[in-house]
Amino acid sequence: MVLQNVASTTPSKTGSKMLLQNLWSVCVVAVFLASPTRVMTAEQDLVPATPHDFVTLYAAASAAMSAEAVASFYHEDVTSIPFAGPSRVMRGNAQQQEELQGLFDSLASRGIASLILADYSITQLSDHFATTRLRWELSQADGKTVNVINSTYVIRREDTGWRVVTILEMGKPHGL
């Protein structure tokens, strides 16, 4: 089964687009928080109960450009196999978090003000595995989209919710 994100905004003004994207993100998180299907741990931490919940929460963490928040969705033994080839394979949550921090710092230093999930698809492979394909838009403070990044993840359902176990591709922004 493949689920597609159908939420799309195409306002004519760039500022309106940014406002709508940010409002959409807030609404998605608010709807998720009100959802009776969420899973709570003993410490009352929110964890993704479904692959869709995973995408929603992961997108919110990514939009905040917080390496620590994004890495919290990775399994402790996550493996990344980027387009750069086997020489850039990274293993472990700590290494991923360090790489993310470098990416977010680099984006900020180049004037990127937002990282917005533009589209995604989920392919449920079994009760415990799914793949997610995410397309991110990188925008400047004025709302102008300057680049797009595509990423693919294998996620696995665990006691703590859905977690990334393998990053199959993570396209780096071109020209930045």
Percent of the chain with pLDDT over 90: 43
Phi/psi of residue 139, nearest 5 degrees: -125, 150
* Calpha distance 32→37 (Å, rounded): 9
What pLDDT does residue 173 have?
53
pLDDT digits (tens, 9 = 90+) for 138-164: 999 898 999 898 899 999 999 989 999
Give the global pTM. 0.70
Kindly state the average pLDDT of the residues 126-139: 95
